[in-house]
Amino acid sequence: KMAGSSAPWIGSAYLFLQSTCKTIVLPSLYESSQKKPSVFKALKLALADSTGSVNGVDMLKVHCSHPHLIVQLKFCKQENCRRFLQSYREGVLQQSLQNHLQLSLAMTTVPLEMELKAGNEHLDNMLKDEDRCLECIYREKPDRLRDEEITELEECFKSLIVHQSINNNMAVKDWASQNTPSLPYPSQGSSLSPQVAFIFQGQEFANRMLTPDDHQKFAKLVSKKWKQVGRSLQKNCRALRDPVIDNLALEYDREGLYEQAYQLLLRFIQSEGKKATIARLIAALEENGLISLAEELLGLHSNEDCS
């Protein structure tokens, strides 16, 4: 049923994965109850890197077909699918997945071969023709709902992220590994944060990288002021220069303020890498009078009402 422009863009594709290292058999790792969550986490993070959003592409099922691991993908937006194809074509997805598998499975290296199919079409043969690839993916509608096992793994993944953000060091490590492949300059500058500590409301706080917990709190609480915070951050963040902020407002208008704010901070984290610190975000919040949100992020939970 086409309902004009309000009809969602939905398509499906299969991603075939095989390790080129004889000692690493992906289907066997996925079939192991101990290793499965680690493989799933790596897939989830790499796909998030490829579309710029944790919800950019949905995994419906993972098939173990030796020697391949086959992931059935569902796209609900053309722009997400376009980003995914670009990432796939440029080898960014492959590099990202190799990195995440290496970290999740604690291995030295996990070399991969990839293939992308939609129906009977081998998309690898037509990657330069992006519109034709999109057409093939759009033609293939998902033939299933998300597998129950995937739903369970999703829940574990979410609780893992929340659990890790309780322990900042782990969350920082996880967040850093999640975003490294997307960075244009992976090892930019020193590995240390630009400043070790900063002062807020006369109190000293340790500077650290932003965590998933910070990211979610910011998106949930910043409300309409997300654009102003973005303009404060853009002063020393090239990725947020005009017209990026206005484009985010338009692109995620239908999803609402949470998603707009989430995507803004995601751009900041991905472009700044190790320099995406809590100190910079707190300074931007202070500049815009968002003191209660700054206190929330620093765990102060002040009861004073910020007028």
The encoded tokens of residue 299 equal 């765990």
Residue intervals of the chain classified under CATH 3.30.70.680 are: 11-157
**CATH architecture, domain 11-157:** 2-Layer Sandwich (3.30)
Side-chain-side CA neighbours of 168 within 13 Å: the count stands at 11
**CATH architecture, domain 197-298:** Orthogonal Bundle (1.10)
| CB atoms closer than 10 angstroms to residue 283 | 16
Q: Which residues 6+ apart lie within 8 Å of 108 measured at CB?
A: 102
Please report, in tens digits, the pLDDT of each residue of the chain (307 residues total).
333 446 789 999 999 999 999 899 999 999 998 899 999 999 999 999 899 888 889 999 999 999 999 999 999 999 999 999 999 999 999 999 999 999 888 888 899 999 999 999 999 999 999 999 999 999 999 988 888 889 888 888 777 665 555 444 444 444 444 444 433 333 333 333 356 788 888 888 888 999 999 999 999 999 999 999 999 999 989 889 878 999 999 989 999 999 999 999 999 998 888 889 999 999 999 999 999 999 999 998 644 444 4
The C-alpha angle 130, 20, 27, rounded to 5 degrees, equals 90
Beta carbons of 101 and 42 less than 8 angstroms apart = yes
Q: b or e along 104-135 (b: 16 or more beta carbons within 10 Å of the residue's beta carbon)? A: beeeeebebeeebbbeebebeeeeeeeeebbe
Tell whether pTM > 0.95: no
Handedness of CA 298, 219, 38, 83 (dihedral sign): negative
Distance CA 220, CA 259 (A): 9
Residue intervals of the chain classified under CATH 1.10.533.10 are: 197-298
Distance CA 59, CA 69 (A): 13
Q: What is the CA radius of gyration of the chain?
A: 20
